[in-house]
Structure 1
Amino acid sequence: MELSVYNIKGEDTGKKVTLSDAIFGIEPNDHAIYLDVKQYMANKRQGTHKSKERSEVSGSTRKLIRQKGGGGARRGDINSPVLVGGGRVFGPRPRSYEFKLNKKVKGLARKSALAYKAKNDAIIVVEDFSFEAPKTKDFVAITKNLKVADKKLLLVLPEKNNFVYLSARNLEKANIITASELNTYRVLDATSLVLTESSVAAIENLFNA
């Protein structure tokens, strides 16, 4: 699959970039995507939820009523789960939601996400660029030139660039990541995927490694 390369002014440079069919041209696997996104969301959970059970609630342990002879069930103390203000039965406890996912499944999921973007013509390749200083105004100008200013975009860089990152940090619809940080959730969450020339090669090297 060949794509035209644009400069930061939104002009076609006449250069072409060939996207690898082994990455961008595969048949997407929806189940692999589901598992990878599920793991990503699960790993973000803090898991610090906690509710007090019967033994942890503060209250008197005096028996409220006689335990036998009343014709009903035993009630016990005021901390009983059947009473308002009592402990909770089998309440949530702190735990980790993380689970293991094989590397091959994660790789297939990322390839599938990229393949979906390629199928939907949602990939834009731009020449490598950088800023001399953080400037949000300049980054907004680039998004307008590429006609993605009103879309949720994901810009993939070959390596970290603090000036570019800081320029886009305040923009709600813009996300900046490096090729090594590429993940299924971020790719699918974006409406447009913007790749620099060097990041295309970095992505291919990442999957071929």
Structure 2
Amino acid sequence: MEVSVLNINGQETGRKVALNDAIFGIEPNEHVLYLAVKQYLANQRQGTAKSKERSEVSGSTRKLGRQKGGGGARRGDINSPVLVGGGRVFGPKPRDYRQKLNKKVNILARKSALSYMAKENAIIVVEDFTLDAPKTKDFINITKNLKVEGKKTLVVLPVEDKNVYLSARNLKEAQVMGAANINTYKILNSEVLVIAESSLKTIDNILNK
């Protein structure tokens, strides 16, 4: 699959690049995509939710009423879960939600995500670029020139560029990542992929091991 290379002014350079069919031309595996997205979202969870159980609530341990004959549910002290202000039964405790994913599955998921975007014609290849200084206005002009303004856009650079990253940081619909750090969720969560030309080589090296 060949794609025209544009410059940041949105003009064609007259050159074309071939997207590797082993990465951008496979049949997307939906189950693997599901596993990769689930793993990413699970790994974002802090796991710090905590509630006090009966033994942790502050209060007297004196038995409030007789065991039988009261007409209601039996209960012991004021910390009983039956009473307002009592402990919680089987409440959440701090835990680690992180999940593991095999390397081959992870690679297949990223290939599937990139192939899905290629099938949707949602990939734009641009010449390598940088910005002289962090300036959101300059980044917005680039998105206008590429006709992706207002769309969820993932910009993939060969290496992380601080000026480009800071220029896009205040834009809700734009994200900037280095080619080595792209993941399945970020790809699928975007409407358009803007890939710098040199990033294609980095992606090939990572996903075609």
The TM-score bracket by the shorter chain reads: over 0.9
Aligned Cα root-mean-square deviation (Å): 1.2
| Cα deviation, residue 98, structure 1 | 0.8
**Which digits, 9 at most, give the CA deviation of each residue in 1:23-79, with x for residues without a partner?**
000000011010111010001000000011000111111111122565765321111
Alignment match, 2:141: 141
Residue 44 of structure 2 corresponds to residue 44 of structure 1: yes
**What residue is the counterpart of 2:127 in the other structure?**
127
2 CA distance for matches of 1:122 and 1:200?
15
2:113 corresponds to 1:106: no
| Identical residues among aligned pairs (%) | 69
Q: Which residue of 1 aligns with 2:55?
A: 55
CA deviation after TM superposition for structure 1 residue 172, in Å? 1.1
Kindly report structure 1 stretches of 4+ aligned residues shifted beyond 4 Å: 68-73
Following superposition, the deviation at residue 150 of structure 1 comes to 1.5
**Aligned residue identity for 2:10:** G
SS at 2:124 equivalent = strand
Structure 1 alignment gaps of length 5 or more: none
Instruction: Give 2:188's aligned residue.
Output: 188
Give the match's secondary structure for 1:8.
coil
Identify unmatched segments of 5+ residues in structure 2: none
2:74 counterpart residue number: 74
**Cα gap change, 1:144/1:64 in structure 2, threshold over 3 Å: closer, same or farther?**
same
How big is the shift at 1:85? 1.1
Distance in structure 1 (CA, Å) of the matches to 2:201 and 2:103? 21
Q: Supply the distance in 2 between the matched residues of 1:70 and 1:144 (Cα, whole angstroms).
A: 74
Q: Specify whether residues 71 and 165 from structure 1 end up closer, same or farther in structure 2 by C-alpha distance, changes over 3 A only.
A: closer
Number of residue equivalences: 209
TM-score, normalised to structure 2's length?
0.97
For the residues of structure 2 that align with 1:179 and 1:158, how far apart are their CA atoms? 5
**Counterpart-to-counterpart distance in 1, 2:192 and 2:154:** 6
